Amino acid sequence: MHKLARLDQKYVWHPFTQMRDWARREPIVLARGKGAVLEDVRGKKFLDANASIWTNLHGHNHPKLNAALQRQLKKVAHTSALGFANEPAALLAERLVKAGRGSAGASPSRTKLAKVFFSDDGSTALEVALKMSYEFTRRTGRSRAPKFLSLQGAYHGDTVGAVSVGHIDLFHKAYGGLLFKSDKVMSPNCYRCPFNQAKPERADARVTRKCNWECVGKVEAKLKQRKYAAFVVEPRVQGAAGMIAHPEGWLKRVAEAVRASGAQLIADEVMTGFGRTGTMFACQKEKVAADFLCVAKGLTGGYLPMAATLTTQAVFDAFLGEYEEFKTFFHGHSYTGNQLGAAAALASLDILQGSESKMKRRGLEKQLRDELQTLWSLAAVGDVRQEGLVAGVELVADWRTRAAFPLKARAGIRVCEAMARRGVLTRPIGNVIPLLPPYCTTQLQLRKMVKALRESIVEVLGETGC
Ligand SMILES: Cc1ncc(COP(=O)(O)O)c(C=O)c1O
């Protein structure tokens, strides 16, 4: 075993990992990367097919990002945002507000995104939005004890507030006693829709009734029951729920219902932001204007942990007052507004907003759609979902009944292990295999990713099912 693998096994506790399993095999120790390729300490190369847990945008070791960081390092790496401003954070805040407004529909000026609160990661970006929305709702007199509404299968991070609006029992149930109560509502998961399963799929699949937007009706009914501070949602795709791509039009309908109820909309774009779903932010695909836009992961192009919560002038104003009124937003982190992170984010936005990246993403998205079609013929493939450059392939024990593999069968894990043997890295979400290629992925590399997935499914689960 490589000495670094031994050291890791002796001292490191990995996230979301059964460490008994981890100790059974030599871990892959990654040492360097270039573009979509990662290399381990033994010199074996892998394709980064989930963009290092959905963070990387333009590839590893990108010359423009490296140069931006080196320029910033010659000045200063970090100064505190408590009491001081800094150049890259100020420039970045302006860029984010402009990008966040984008084409998100016409809205009156006080409800347009106008302010940026920086933090460290996706979870903290959500904590900030939850606290702001809660306090805004109380201060504006809408409710004294407002609650939050979020989707079945929601995942918004691992800090206590973010977990409180999460609804994945496997991750969240154990901490029930620590959490505040939030309400959940049906997710628009067409593949497992109890009403109609109207999504067009295999020619001979059970397409039963027409979709009547029952899932929207469920949200509307919940919104009538109480005065929520906010509806928290991952727009267009729920990532950790299993790359659940929402049907076109759901977001717009639900956003209108939220607005009509007087609640706020918290858009968690931690995974969907920065071009992943096609537009800069997923909300913009349906011209939806959120009261809070939470971003992290791809903000720095996948280089450094940094996050931001964008919000409106109206929310900001609710925290204004004389010093001794103590209306201040009492929240912050040591690395808030980190200069290196902000420099990387500015460079990443330059690349992302350039025409070359836009064209490349469009081409990749189409190729991914075409390549994924080759998976439908496998019996263990129940659903293939894609939204922009986010794809999820759901493995099932029986595609006719859509019966899931029991988690104990570790179908997703075993398929991903077989993919790693073929030089392609991704991490399963239960029995869903995500593919989120970095935007620099070449045609050949993308073909190799899907081919490795196909071959691995056949190797582990057979061509005709097991
Ligand atoms: C939609 C969404 N929100 C929040 C988070 C939490 O982000 P982080 O892991 O950076 O805290 C994640 C992480 O996967 C996520 O996918």
Q: Per-residue DSSP letters for 35-97?
A: BTEEEETTS-EEEETTHHHHT-SS-BT-HHHHHHHHHHHHH-S---SSS---HHHHHHHHHHH
With the most atoms of ligand 1 within 8 angstroms of its CB, the residue from 124, 297, 299, 429 to mutate is: 297
Residue-averaged pLDDT of the chain:
94
| One domain, residues 183 and 254 | yes
- Which pLDDT score, from 0 to 100, does residue 200 have? 46
Pocket test for ligand 1, best of 271, 387, 427, 432 (most atoms within 8 A of CB): 271
CA distance 189 to 320: 41
Residue 70 forms part of a structural domain: no
Q: Determine whether the shortest distance from the Cβ of 244 to ligand 1 is under 6 A.
A: no
Answer whether residue 466 is part of any domain: no
- In this prediction, residues 403-412 reach a mean pLDDT of 93
* Together in a domain, 422 and 347: no
The answer to whether residue 71 sits within a structural domain is no
DSSP string, 381-412: EEEEEEETTEEEEEEEEETTTTEEPPGGG-HH
Segment 168-184, tens digit of pLDDT: 988 878 888 999 999 99
What is the pLDDT, as a whole number, of residue 107?
A: 60
DSSP letter at 159 equals S
- Residue 384, φ and ψ in degrees, nearest 5: -125, 115
d(Cα 46, Cα 423) in Å, to the nearest integer? 4
pLDDT (0 to 100) of residue 173: 82
Q: How far is CA 133 from CA 110, 130, 273, 359, in A?
A: 15, 5, 21, 37
What is the CATH classification number for the domain harbouring 330? 3.40.640.10
The pLDDT > 90 percentage for the chain reads 90
Answer yes or no: is pLDDT of 166 > 60. Answer: yes
Task: Count other Cβ atoms within 10 Å, centred on residue 21.
Answer: 10
**Do 332 and 359 share a domain, yes or no?**
no
* pLDDT reported for residue 120: 98
- The mean pLDDT of 24-40, rounded to a whole number, is 97
> Is residue 68 domain-resident?
no
What is the reported pLDDT for 172? Answer: 79
Residues 49, 135, single domain; the answer is no
Residue 202 confidence (pLDDT) above 50: no
* CA dist 76 → 80, 154, 165, 346 (Å): 11, 38, 37, 16
Average pLDDT over residues 400-417: 94
Domain check: are 88 and 224 in the same one? yes
Instruction: Round to whole Å and give the CA distance between 233 and 236.
Output: 9
Quick check: helix, strand or coil at residue 356? helix
Chosen domain end from 314, 335, 352: 352
Better-scored residue on pLDDT, 440 or 170? 440
pLDDT confidence tier of residue 69, bands split at 50, 70 and 90: very high
How many A from CA of 155 to the centre of ligand 1? Answer: 7
* Dihedral over alpha carbons 250, 256, 262, 268 (to 10 degrees): 40
Looking at residue 62, its pLDDT comes to 98
C-alpha–C-alpha distance, residues 172 and 177, integer Å: 10
Domain count, the chain: 2
Q: The dihedral of CA 237, 241, 244, 250: what is its sign?
A: negative
The mean pLDDT of 443-455, rounded to a whole number, is 98
Stretch 44-72: mean pLDDT, rounded? 98
Is 287 in a helix, a strand, or coil?
coil
Q: What is the mean pLDDT of residues 390-407?
A: 94
Least confident of 88-97, 118-127, 292-301, 401-410: 401-410
Is residue 314 located within the same domain as residue 371? no
- The two tokens of residue 300 are 């720095």
**Cα(460)–Cα(409) distance, integer angstroms:** 11
The confidence score (pLDDT) of residue 104 equals 53
Q: What is the pLDDT of residues 185-200, one digit of tens each?
A: 999 999 999 987 655 4
Q: How many CB atoms lie within 10 A of CB 160?
A: 13
pLDDT of residue 199: 55
pLDDT score for 238: 98
Q: Which of 352, 377, 408 is the last residue of a domain?
A: 352
Contacts of 191 (CB under 8 A, 6+ apart): 197, 199, 201, 244, 382, 383, 385, 394, 402
Last residue within a domain, chosen from 299, 320, 352:
352
Here the CATH number for the domain that contains residue 390 is: 3.90.1150.10
Q: Is pLDDT of 209 > 70?
A: no
Provide the pLDDT for residue 210: 76
**Rounded-to-integer distance, Cα 446 and Cα 275, Å:** 18
Rounded to two decimals, the pTM is 0.96
- Decide if 82 is inside a domain: yes
Bridge partners (DSSP) listed for residue 292: 266, 311
Per-residue pLDDT at 170? 86
How many helices (DSSP H) and strands (DSSP E) are in the chain? Answer: 15, 17
The more confident residue out of 208 and 195 is: 195
Range of the domain at 387: 3-63+354-461
421 domain residue, yes or no: yes
Structure tokens at 259: 């607005």
Residue pLDDT, tens place only, 247-285: 999 999 999 999 999 999 999 999 999 999 999 999 999
The kind and range of the H/E element at 148 are strand 147-151
Is residue 234 in contact with ligand 1, taking CB distance under 6 Å? yes
Give the mean model confidence (pLDDT) for residues 213-242: 96
- Residue nearest to ligand 1 atom 13, measured at CA: 157
Give a yes or no: residue 373 inside a domain.
yes
Asked, for residue 88, whether it belongs to a domain, the answer is yes
For the stretch 315-374, pLDDT in tens is: 999 999 999 999 999 999 999 999 999 999 999 999 999 999 999 999 999 999 999 999
Q: To the nearest whole percent, how much of the chain has pLDDT over 70?
A: 95
Best residue among 270, 271, 306, 335 to mutate for probing ligand 1, ranked by most atoms within 8 Å of CB: 270
Query: How far does the centroid of ligand 1 lie from the alpha carbon of residue 207, in Å?
Result: 33
Same domain, 298 and 150: yes
How far is residue 332's CA from residue 119's CA, in Å, rounded to a whole number? Answer: 7
296 lines ligand 1 (CB under 6 A): yes
Q: Are 317 and 338 contained in the same domain?
A: yes
Q: What is the dihedral of CA 22, 23, 26, 31, to 10 degrees?
A: 60
User: Is-contact 294 309, C-beta < 8 A?
Assistant: yes
Residues 50 and 108 in one domain: no
Same domain? For 346 and 368 the reply is: no
Question: Which pLDDT belongs to residue 197?
Answer: 63
Residue 55 tokens read as 């963070």
Q: For residue 180, what is the DSSP state?
A: P
pLDDT score recorded for residue 262 = 96
Q: Are residues 302 and 448 in the same domain?
A: no
Same domain as 133, residue 34: no
* Mean pLDDT score, 414-422: 98
- 206 pLDDT above the threshold of 80: no
Round to whole Å and give the CA distance between 138 and 140.
6
239 CB under 6 A from ligand 1? yes
- Taking alpha carbons only, the member of 286, 244, 283 closest to residue 390 is 244
- pLDDT tops 60 at residue 42: yes
- Does the beta carbon of 55 sit less than 6 angstroms from any atom of ligand 1? no
Cα–Cα dist 217/454, whole Å: 38
CA angle, residues 299, 290, 163, in degrees to nearest 5: 70
64/66 Cα distance (integer angstroms) = 5
